[in-house]
Copies of this chain bind each other. A is one copy, B any other.
Amino acid sequence: MPSFLAPPLAPLRIVFDSPAATAEPAGPVLVRRMSSLEGLFEQEGLRRQLADGPDPIVYTVASSPVPELPRELPQSITTIAPGTLGGEFYMTKGHQHPDPQGEIYLCLRGTGGLLTFDGTTTSWIEMTPGVIGYMPPGWAHRSVNTGDDEYQFLAVYPGSAGHDYQWVVENGMGERIFRGPQGPVRRPFRVDTQAIA
Q: What is the interface of chain A, defined by CB distance below 8 A to chain B? A: 1-2, 4, 8-16, 18, 64, 66, 71-73, 75, 100-104, 106, 114, 116, 118-119, 121, 123, 125-127, 130-139, 141, 154, 156-159
Contact = CB atoms under 8 A, between A and B. Distances in A.
**Chain copies in the assembly?**
2
A137 B73 CA distance: 9
Nearest to A103: B73
A100 B4 contact: yes
A127 to B, nearest CB: 8
Contacts of A66: 102, 134
A134 B11 contact: yes
A123 B8 CA distance: 14
A156 B101 CA distance: 13
Contacts of A133: 11-14
Nearest to A73: B102
9 contacts: A2-B137, A8-B138, A10-B123, A11-B114, A11-B141, A16-B130, A73-B134, A75-B104, A75-B134
Contacts of A64: 132, 134
A11 B130 contact: no
A3 to B, nearest CB: 9
B13 A126 contact: yes
A138 to B, nearest CB: 5
Given A2-B100, A73-B104, 15 more contacts: A2-B137, A4-B137, A4-B138, A8-B136, A8-B137, A8-B138, A10-B121, A11-B123, A11-B125, A11-B136, A12-B136, A13-B134, A18-B130, A73-B103, A156-B156
A139 B8 contact: yes
A6 to B, nearest CB: 10
Contacts of A131: 13-15
